[in-house]
Structure 1
Amino acid sequence: MTAYKRVQQWNTFARVWHLYDATWQNPFESAQRIMKYLKGLHKPIYHPLNDCGDHVVVINSGEIALLGDEWRKRVYFHHTGYPGGATWTLAWELHDKDPTMIMKKAVYNVMDGNLQRRYTMQRLHIYPDDDVPEKIKQNITNQIRQLRPVPKRLDRYAPEEVQRFPKVMDWPKNYILR
């Protein structure tokens, strides 16, 4: 085997670190995309019995977005294993306690039926903000594209950009703002 082929084989089987920004993203749709990288579905060597998945680092999980009234209506179940140990927690309460838990549970539920789910989840690294340890930052080599673009807030625009924006209408001279 030539040196070139050997390096090519190493790169094929190597675990790559991917970065995903969860700002304003739906965690359940994001989980579908993250799961493909964790299981290795994006690789040509994928096989269900082969553990060839990559590491995924999710940042800004504290800024996820749920649809409609999901924050008030979605309930998460947990059981301690003891009699009377069942609890149901609303999504907003769970997010206040641990901003990474909703994303973690979404990815875990997407991998339903996977026998290696517990070991695959060890390659998922979730952070509530963009403060990632330097040791992990050094490993990241790829970025996963977001599902939806994040709009820029109006207070983040420079005053010159706001003035240059085309006007829809001009207020009358005698109009009073309250």
Structure 2
Amino acid sequence: MSVLKRVQQWATFARIWHVYDAAWQNPFQSAELLKKYLMGMYKPIYHPSNDCGDHVIVINSAEIALPGDEWKKRVYFHHTGYPGGATWTLAWDLHSKDPTMVPAVYNSMDGNLKRRYTMERLHIFPDSNVPKDLMANVSNQIRQIRPMPKRLDHYPEQQVKEFPKVIDYPKDYVVR
């Protein structure tokens, strides 16, 4: 086997480390994207019974954005297995208790027999503080699904003043 083919084969079977910024991203759309990398679906050797997935580091999971009023209406069910052990938790309550818990990724792999072992390769952090030993492994960045909006106070003051105004309010204008 030539050296080139050996390197190509090694790259195909190696577990690559990816980083994904979840700030202002929809967790359901992100879950479908991350599933592709966690299960290795983008690799030419993928097969449902083959364990060829990669590691994914998700940063800023505390800043996810659910669409509409999903924070108030989405409910997660859990049962302990004992009589009377059923609980329903609202999405905002679940996220405020543990911002690293993103059930959408787990639920997107429904029917996968290796789901438990696949989820072990998902590393979620509530902010951008990731241990250096994990970041040393990262060799790829997964592009965000939608662009992150820029806040008005992050623009330079000169650029804000130069932006064309739709209306100029009078000096004595009062908002009621």
Partner of residue 55, structure 1: 55
CA separation in 2, counterparts of 1:131 and 1:79? 33
Extract structure 1 runs of 4+ deviating beyond 3 A.
Answer: 169-172
CA separation in 1, counterparts of 2:153 and 2:139? 32
2:119 to 82, 100, 121: 121
**Helix, strand or coil for the counterpart of 1:72?**
helix
The one-letter code matched in structure 2 to 1:176 is D
Partner of residue 138, structure 2: 140
The residue correspondences of 1:77-96 to structure 2 (distance < 5 A) are 77-96=77-96
CA separation in 1, counterparts of 2:94 and 2:38? 24
Identity of aligned residues (%): 70
CA separation in 2, counterparts of 1:90 and 1:170? 44
Partner of residue 34, structure 1: 34
2:173 to 153, 174, 177: 177
Matched, 1:9 2:5: no
- Aligned-residue Cα RMSD (Å) equals 1.2
CA separation in 1, counterparts of 2:18 and 2:47? 20
The one-letter code matched in structure 2 to 1:144 is I
Query: TM-score if structure 1 supplies the norm length?
Result: 0.93
How many Å apart are 1:48 and its aligned residue? 1.1
How many Å apart are 1:97 and its aligned residue? 0.3
CA separation in 2, counterparts of 1:131 and 1:46? 32
Structure 1: any 5+ residue segments left out of the alignment? none
**Helix, strand or coil for the counterpart of 1:89?**
strand
CA separation in 2, counterparts of 1:10 and 1:166? 55
Aligned length: 174
- Partner deviation per Cα, 1:95-143 (whole Å, 9 max, x = no partner): 1100011x2x101100001011011000001111111110111111111
CA separation in 2, counterparts of 1:31 and 1:92? 18
Stretch deviating more after TM superposition (92-101 or 157-166): 157-166
Structure 2: any 5+ residue segments left out of the alignment? none
The one-letter code matched in structure 2 to 1:122 is E
CA separation in 2, counterparts of 1:50 and 1:139? 23
CA separation in 2, counterparts of 1:10 and 1:61? 32
**Helix, strand or coil for the counterpart of 2:120?**
helix
CA separation in 2, counterparts of 1:98 and 1:64? 13
The one-letter code matched in structure 2 to 1:37 is Y
**Helix, strand or coil for the counterpart of 1:149?**
coil
CA separation in 1, counterparts of 2:142 and 2:84? 42
CA separation in 2, counterparts of 1:169 and 1:67? 31
How many Å apart are 1:161 and its aligned residue? 1.3
